[in-house]
Amino acid sequence: MSFELSEDHEQFRRTVRDFAEKEIAPHAAQWDRDHHFPVDVVRKMGSLGLFGLTAPEQYGGADGDFTSLCVAIEEIGRVDQSLGITLEAGVGLGINPILTFGTDEQKDTWLPDLVEGQKLAGFGLTEPGAGSDAGATKTKAELVDGEWVINGSKQFITNSGSEMTSLVTVTARTGEREDGRAEISTIIVPSGTEGFTAEKAYDKLGWHASDTHPLSFSDARVPESHLLGERGRGFAQFLATLDDGRVAIAALAVGCIQACLDLSLQYAGERTTFGVPIGRKQGVAFQIADLEVMLAASRQLTYQAAWMKDAGKPAKEFKHAAAIAKLYATESAVTATRIATQVFGGYGFMEEYAVARFYRDAKVLEIGEGTSEVQRMLIARGLGLPVE
């Protein structure tokens, strides 16, 4: 069975690649050095329609397929992983929860600006003691006189504190179930809400040009109508959101591997030792061949999973494919950056070369939207193993 992209997808790829090479690539290194979130370029991505690819036309979207979004994330990530994750999180963690679980009023209120890419939304899940163990959430929301009163904190939240951020959706304990477990719900908290603070941006190893903050809530009040989806279903909503996100992160990893291959090929043809290009040396050529293998396998797994999403395959099958794609592509991306840096030798250790930036950016791919350990657990469970 072939998962070759259609000509429409390939034409779209060329459009996004042209935009990325003209509008992003020349500035990516400087943004990285300055830890600068380029609002103007993110809005240009919105004007190109990238944030609205999968949204319905009634909210200003293209009503397109998930595969197109993966193509866009790959091509943006090929030149700058920071803006690749900005797009991935803007759609997967910002737009999708509201689109999937929101009321008509919530969709009408929030989606048009998000779909247009003029505003961004964050997804407040992770806490100091509750990341992969989302059931350990400590943030609480109490219903008082028709308002949710929220107290707690979140960490590592993308697109949560920029001048473009219009809201964050927050998971919180809203009660207790009959079996004694916490009732987890999701609540929309607009930016500027009194008691809600996006703290100082993190000083990160990589993704310097993306917007990431810890969040705090101190008696932050929002109307009862800001409950997103059914009360007590926040954990299930989070899991459904992450299935799509894992494939999108895999697409970001594919862009990283492609960049490593492109950069290594160019350098191996230009750099000479002992009078010949280093690409003629088996030690270098074989490493670059390994990059091609990892790229081909990662791309196939990623777009197979995207195709399953678009084809409406059973959720259990898609979840399994998403975990496989995310695990393989992200771990391959980390390896690819190590190989590319080795090909460049001493120059690979210098920040003036893009491979150094990709090296720093890649590691978090194995962590965000479900660690590699979580993916292995999901894959094992999909095989029928009772993994705890």
**362: nearest Cα among 334, 343, 381, 385:** 334
Residue 174 dihedral angles phi and psi, to the nearest 5°: -115, 10
Q: Interhelix angle for 315-344 vs 282-310, to 10°?
A: 160
Long-range contacts of 296-299 (CB under 8 A, 24+ apart): 297/328, 297/332, 298/250, 298/253, 298/254, 298/257, 298/325, 298/328, 298/329, 298/332, 298/333, 299/254
Looking at the DSSP bridge assignments, the partners of residue 130 are: 127
Catalytic annotation, pick one of 147, 317, 369, 373: 369
Residue 21: active-site member: no
Q: Which two tokens stand for residue 37?
A: 């979130």
| Burial (0-12, 13-18, 19+ Cβ within 10 Å), 367 | middle
Measured between alpha carbons, how far is 256 from 333 in angstroms, rounded to an integer? 6
Question: Which residues are marked as active site?
Answer: 369
